[in-house]
Structure 1
Amino acid sequence: MSLRHLKPLRVAVAALCLTVLTLAFLGAHLPHPLISLFASLQFVPTLIALATGSLALGAIIILVVTLTAGRIYCSAICPLGILQDAIARITSLFRRKPFFLRYAPAWTKVRHLFFWTTLLTIPLGGAGLAIAWLDPYSTFGRTVSLLIRPLIRFAHNAIVPHAEKAHVTGLYHLDIALAALPLLLGVGAVFLLIVVMASLRGRLYCNTLCPVGTLLGFIASRSWLRLKINADACGKCGECLKSCKAQCIDLKAGTVDASRCVSCYNCLAACDQGAMRLATNWTVSRTTKPSDATQPPDSGRRQFLLTATGGALVTGATLLPDISRADDHEKKHGDGHGKKRKYKNVVTPPIAGDTDTFLAHCTACQLCISSCTTGVLQPAFLQYGPQHLLKPRMDYSKAFCNYTCHRCTEICPTGAIPFLPVPQKQITRIGMAHFNKENCIVSVYHTDCGACSEHCPTKAVHMVPYEGGLVIPEVDKSLCIGCGACEFACPADDKAILVHGAPKEKLARRPSEEKPTAPTVNKDGFPF
């Protein structure tokens, strides 16, 4: 295959990745194996899953591919990187004059600053905040889920009345759930920064602010295959410069900065003289010039490569103690019903472990929130604390957890929400319902209600005799799983039944399945 074909192949793979992940974060009902496949190829989520004992090969595959052929992940798999290419292409259409990027030196100090800031926050307890806001996959997910998805739904809802007038069926009003204003402003500011940097400098964000780009860049600087310039064939026409989105081709020196090159292969397709080539880097070929073979290594770069690689190992090593500490949470913070109980008023998605374990795994990518069939999963503001912004929580004022759905457990790439088959999910307790008789419609207005009992899928909430021949709700805590159907259905202004999080017991009793009894037949042969 000609090297010129590498660019269209890369574009095809990138378009597929961007399309699937964009649709997933928009809430499209794609097959969950398809979503899981592309989510499992994202570096940070699979690195976290791997560091905490899950069989996640995505991070290992990315590291091996990067060490072999450079930053292919950044150009063909990372959705945020692909989005930047799309932004740069779209903004170029609005320029009156042709515009292309020239070679620019690397912002090495800025790269080091953001990389080490991210790395050092992990042992200091800020891993969740740093990883969530700087992981490119999670940044892309938040942008699509929290910004683009509501805009699309606003536009859709604006079209619905006109479609009804034109007798077009199949369109209906969609609910729009907006995150807290500070969260929207934060996500919007990050996205605006990315748009500006991509429009003016291509992949500058990837090569300065993104810690994943920095780590993979320094691994790629020692990759086996890399782009090189054949000085004998190069005519200095500059076509490669016009196509380079990373500003890493230095024609004067005749070199390509492999640490910033994202392996998009645009230069291979643009070079008509055949000067751009893929060459091996670990052995000195016979055609290599002596000056290239004897060039002294950059000791600073080599040292940083070693420390960065060691830093990646530290990342995994420091995550493991966090998980261990989370596993001992019940021993350190009481019995789960006292004042020491954490996250009392926050209900997590269906998880088999405790809340601290869930928060240690989660990168706030919003995939579960976008895929939630009822919309009960919403991004947290300060409910978990400022270090866990945007991580999913149950909001029973908007909806409830569907008893027969386990969508969020199927697609989580980090294992923060572990896979639970439907029968197991149906007895996994994420909260506990608490009934306040003083707020109940039956008690306040002395009239029938029972909405909470009617909606309870396990019949943990059932009706018992009350004054004046009425019946009033009662909670069987052994059956309650905290799905929130009762709280969502309660018509009282001040909810008479609320679901609290962080329950002590994580498994509920499975409700008995009573077989319907045959109706009795009277002497005339009629069952009524």
Structure 2
Amino acid sequence: MLRTVRVSVAIICFSLISLLFLDFTGTLHVWFGWLAKIQFLPALLALNVGVILSLLLLTLLFGRIYCSVICPLGVFQDIIAWFGKRGKKLPYTYSRALSWLRYGILIVFIIAVLAGVGSFVALLAPYSSYGRIISNLFAPLYQLGNNMFAYLAERAESYAFYEVDVWVKSLSTFIIALITFGVLVLLAWRNGRTYCNTICPVGTFLGIIAKYSLFKPVIDVSKCNSCGLCARHCKAACIDSKKHKIDYSRCVVCLDCLDKCRHGAIKYMRRSAVKDKISSPVVTQDQIDSARRNFLSVSALFAATTVIKAQEKKVDGGLAVIEDKKIPNRVVALTPPGSLSVRNFAKHCTACQLCVSVCPNQVLRPSGSLMTLMQPEMSYERGYCRPECTKCSEVCPAGAIRPISVSEKSSIQIGHAVWIKENCVVLTDGVDCGNCARHCPAGAIQMVASDSESYDSPKIPVVNVERCIGCGACENLCPARPFSAIYVEGHEIHKTV
């Protein structure tokens, strides 16, 4: 019964978190965005004291429930392990903990968090690793499926679906996600929760607390015949059946051992009952019922259906092949409105790619820079940051992008536009343009005569740096190729205009 409840809640959490990364409309975040904010590391970086204390209390009461129910990477490994052990009568075996490796990685991870080395933190953070796998490997397949439905629906004169662009946002991040996926599948297929109990710093930290948890699996020595079934089915490899001991720092409370024991020698009960077992093999029914009631008191999550919002399909009516734009060489990288500064963003971002998944204008993409590797950055080749859109600030679970309103976003200056005379089609091709001025939502660009003494001379743009908010509309809509004649230079610290 307990295992069934645990598996059911885990599947619901896993499915909803996965859909958060797959849903490119951002609709699901309104209802289930909080699932991303209760992940341990994002909550820690966001200084969400309530969530952190709740997770610590949950671990202190019931053990590593977070790892077996809430963490999507943990549940993902369980799914792979389930397929891997099919056909194997006794799939696992007990192994000693590699404490030097576990605690060594944890210490280095803590130092990286304090030092603000975001790329290393993002590489090991379990929630972020899963987010990258879904965003880079599975989201494109999901989008291709959506486009197929959109194609069929259009033929049936229905617009319930709309096509989206499918593209590799960052080759380096894609490769890292692919390698992470391969390592996880290999380890989980062969040895179950090896990654959780050897590499994952969050699992190691929670394991320290789980040693003192109130409820835990207990072996009844009087009933145990040392058959070893529990150890051979323990995906955490933490049950030493010969010595009748369980390493609670590695136990993820999957409760598989309870179902596999044919003699009822393993029970999930209070820690005080463990001491009683030493002197007395008798377990009262009240203790069992109490353990069951406390375990079932953990709130269950319920899935809900959502409707994908239809948007107008963007169609370029031109017949000529348009050369793709190239990314300008920015001195300072652009970070989203609400991130406060480049430093604050790099310090708090876990590179989970959730904001990249929901960005409707394809402005956000993972960085390829070594110091900010896999963390999102802004670029305007495919779209610009619309002043009315605040989706990235709504979904960020780590506090790297603070929640902002539409009115606040319109006054946040993340950078300023810079005009490049040599690229402007007004001067290179001798044509009238003014695209940048017409589409500037802040009214920060005006067209003036290129020759002050001749009013009829070609009009060129002049940027009012004090009014420009750095949205990138001018850069994106500039017809110059391959480099725009006007681009946005980022600001180290965001300003209010």
Same structural fold, with TM-score higher than 0.5 when normalized by the shorter chain: yes
1:501 partner letter: G
User: Are 2:10 and 1:14 equivalent residues in the alignment?
Assistant: yes
User: Are 2:429 and 1:445 equivalent residues in the alignment?
Assistant: yes
Pair 390,283 (structure 1): closer, same or farther in 2 beyond 3 Å: same
Q: Which structure 2 segments of 5+ residues have no match?
A: 282-328
Give the 3-state SS of the residue equivalent to 2:138 in structure 1.
Answer: helix
Which residue of structure 2 aligns with residue 203 of structure 1? 193
Give how far 1:289 is off: 2.7
**Are the aligned partners of 1:244 and 1:267 in contact in 2 as well (CA < 8 Å)?**
yes
1:40 partner letter: K
CA offset digits 1:141-171 (Å, max 9, x no partner): 1111122212333455567667767877645
2:245 partner letter: T
**Are the aligned partners of 2:340 and 2:493 in contact in 1 as well (CA < 8 Å)?**
no
Give the 3-state SS of the residue equivalent to 1:138 in structure 2.
Answer: helix
User: Are 2:452 and 1:488 equivalent residues in the alignment?
Assistant: no
Give the 3-state SS of the residue equivalent to 2:491 in structure 1.
Answer: coil
Q: 1:394-433 residue pairs with structure 2 within 5 A?
A: 394-433=378-417
Pair 285,113 (structure 1): closer, same or farther in 2 beyond 3 Å: closer
Q: Which structure 1 segments of 5+ residues have no match?
A: 292-341, 509-528
Give the 3-state SS of the residue equivalent to 1:502 in structure 2.
Answer: strand
1:484 partner letter: G
Which residue of structure 2 aligns with residue 472 of structure 1? 460
* Percent identical residues: 39
Pair 477,120 (structure 1): closer, same or farther in 2 beyond 3 Å: closer
Q: Higher relative CO (CA 8 A, sep ≥ 6), structure 1 or 2?
A: 2
Pair 505,373 (structure 1): closer, same or farther in 2 beyond 3 Å: closer
Q: What do you get for the CA RMSD once the two structures are aligned?
A: 2.6
Give how far 1:503 is off: 5.9
Give how far 1:62 is off: 1.2
Give the 3-state SS of the residue equivalent to 1:226 in structure 2.
Answer: strand
| CA distance in structure 2 between the partners assigned to 1:131 and 1:178 by the alignment | 23
User: Are 2:207 and 1:217 equivalent residues in the alignment?
Assistant: yes
User: Are 2:83 and 1:90 equivalent residues in the alignment?
Assistant: yes
Which residue of structure 2 aligns with residue 351 of structure 1? 338
Give the 3-state SS of the residue equivalent to 1:131 in structure 2.
Answer: helix
| CA distance in structure 2 between the partners assigned to 1:464 and 1:185 by the alignment | 47
The match for 1:265 among 252, 255, 266 is 255
| CA distance in structure 2 between the partners assigned to 1:15 and 1:137 by the alignment | 16
| CA distance in structure 2 between the partners assigned to 1:185 and 1:368 by the alignment | 19
Pair 468,269 (structure 1): closer, same or farther in 2 beyond 3 Å: same
Pair 503,196 (structure 1): closer, same or farther in 2 beyond 3 Å: closer
Pair 162,280 (structure 1): closer, same or farther in 2 beyond 3 Å: closer
| CA distance in structure 1 between the partners assigned to 2:40 and 2:202 by the alignment | 8
Which residue of structure 1 aligns with residue 123 of structure 2? 133
Pair 269,92 (structure 1): closer, same or farther in 2 beyond 3 Å: closer
The match for 1:100 among 87, 91, 99 is 91
Q: 1:123-522 residue pairs with structure 2 within 5 A?
A: 125=115, 127-154=117-144, 156-157=146-147, 170-281=160-271, 285-289=275-279, 344-351=331-338, 353-382=340-369, 386-466=370-450, 468=456, 470-493=458-481, 494-502=483-491, 506-508=495-497
- Tell me whether 494-503 or 236-245 shows the greater mean CA deviation: 236-245
1:418 partner letter: R
Q: Please, what TM-score do these two structures have when normalized by structure 2? A: 0.82
Give how far 1:398 is off: 1.9
| CA distance in structure 2 between the partners assigned to 1:284 and 1:153 by the alignment | 51
Give how far 1:140 is off: 0.6
Which residue of structure 2 aligns with residue 81 of structure 1? 74
- Tell me whether 248-257 or 109-118 shows the greater mean CA deviation: 109-118
Q: Please, what TM-score do these two structures have when normalized by structure 1? A: 0.78
Give the 3-state SS of the residue equivalent to 2:68 in structure 1.
Answer: helix
Which residue of structure 1 aligns with residue 20 of structure 2? 24
**Are the aligned partners of 1:380 and 1:393 in contact in 2 as well (CA < 8 Å)?**
yes
Give how far 1:273 is off: 2.9
1:412 partner letter: C
**Are the aligned partners of 1:126 and 1:387 in contact in 2 as well (CA < 8 Å)?**
no
**Are the aligned partners of 2:21 and 2:354 in contact in 1 as well (CA < 8 Å)?**
yes
2:35 partner letter: F
**Are the aligned partners of 2:343 and 2:492 in contact in 1 as well (CA < 8 Å)?**
no
| CA distance in structure 2 between the partners assigned to 1:343 and 1:35 by the alignment | 36
Give how far 1:428 is off: 0.7
Give the 3-state SS of the residue equivalent to 1:468 in structure 2.
Answer: coil
CA offset digits 1:276-295 (Å, max 9, x no partner): 1123335765443389xxxx
Give the 3-state SS of the residue equivalent to 1:430 in structure 2.
Answer: strand
Give how far 1:81 is off: 0.3
CA offset digits 1:336-381 (Å, max 9, x no partner): xxxxxx9734110112522111111111111111111211111111
- Tell me whether 196-205 or 486-495 shows the greater mean CA deviation: 486-495
The match for 2:105 among 99, 104, 114 is 114
**Are the aligned partners of 2:153 and 2:160 in contact in 1 as well (CA < 8 Å)?**
no
1:118 partner letter: F
**Are the aligned partners of 1:150 and 1:177 in contact in 2 as well (CA < 8 Å)?**
yes
2:33 partner letter: S
2:338 partner letter: I
| CA distance in structure 2 between the partners assigned to 1:25 and 1:216 by the alignment | 25
2:14 partner letter: L
Give the 3-state SS of the residue equivalent to 2:418 in structure 1.
Answer: strand
Pair 37,279 (structure 1): closer, same or farther in 2 beyond 3 Å: same
| CA distance in structure 2 between the partners assigned to 1:444 and 1:463 by the alignment | 16
Q: 1:27-42 residue pairs with structure 2 within 5 A?
A: 27-28=23-24, 29-42=26-39
Give how far 1:235 is off: 4.0
| CA distance in structure 1 between the partners assigned to 2:190 and 2:78 by the alignment | 12
Aligned residues: 444
| CA distance in structure 1 between the partners assigned to 2:333 and 2:381 by the alignment | 13
CA offset digits 1:314-335 (Å, max 9, x no partner): xxxxxxxxxxxxxxxxxxxxxx
Which residue of structure 2 aligns with residue 57 of structure 1? 50
| CA distance in structure 1 between the partners assigned to 2:375 and 2:339 by the alignment | 17
| CA distance in structure 1 between the partners assigned to 2:158 and 2:339 by the alignment | 45
**Are the aligned partners of 2:332 and 2:492 in contact in 1 as well (CA < 8 Å)?**
no
Give how far 1:239 is off: 4.3
Give the 3-state SS of the residue equivalent to 1:118 in structure 2.
Answer: helix
| CA distance in structure 2 between the partners assigned to 1:464 and 1:503 by the alignment | 30
Give how far 1:260 is off: 0.9
| CA distance in structure 2 between the partners assigned to 1:234 and 1:58 by the alignment | 39
| CA distance in structure 2 between the partners assigned to 1:234 and 1:168 by the alignment | 63
Give the 3-state SS of the residue equivalent to 2:388 in structure 1.
Answer: coil
Pair 192,237 (structure 1): closer, same or farther in 2 beyond 3 Å: same
